[in-house]
Amino acid sequence: MATGTKEAADGNAAAEGETAAANAELGKLRWRCRRGMKELDVLLERYVDAHFCAASNADQEAFRQLLDTQDTVIYAYCLGQEPPPDRFAGLIERITANSAAVDSAVPWDC
């Protein structure tokens, strides 16, 4: 095998490995979004599916930390019943904005 071809193959293998690792992490995050409160499950899973991959590293880490928070506390943040800490404020806003955009697009008279 020529050197250039081997390097290209090694590069493809590395990219496939990164993709597999990213997919595995997304699967774990989706699993962690299953909280026991259906409403919260939907909010968090929608965020993961629609925004997590494009989020900054800081936002991704904040989301991982948010998942370590108790369900009732996250739910209170999302409903505006309790102000989130500064490190979660923007994230909670994006999670709930995503839900509002999806809900307004859903034809409820199906």
Closest of 73, 62, 58, 72 to residue 29, by C-alpha: 62
In this structure, which long-range contacts are made by residues 26-33, counting pairs with CB atoms below 8 Å and at least 24 apart in sequence? 26/52, 26/53, 29/63, 29/64, 29/67, 32/67, 33/67
Interval 46-96: pLDDT, tens: 999 999 999 999 999 999 999 999 999 999 999 999 999 999 999 999 999
- What local confidence, expressed as pLDDT, does residue 106 receive? 43
Helices (H), the chain: 3-32, 38-47, 57-66, 71-79, 86-105
pLDDT band at 12 (very low <50, low <70, confident <90, very high): low
Which residues lie closer than 8 Å to 98 by C-beta, 6 or more apart? 46, 47, 50, 51
Q: Where are the domains of the chain?
A: 3-104
Could you tell me which CATH number the domain at 3-104 has? 1.10.150.250
The residue ranking higher by pLDDT, 78 or 105, is 78
Interval 14-45: pLDDT, tens: 667 678 887 888 899 999 999 889 999 999 99
- Give CA–CA dist 71/93, Å, rounded: 17
- What local confidence, expressed as pLDDT, does residue 9 receive? 55
- pTM more than 0.95: no
Q: Which residues of 4-24 are buried (b: 16+ CB within 10 A; e: fewer)?
A: eeeeeeeeeeeeeeeeeeeee
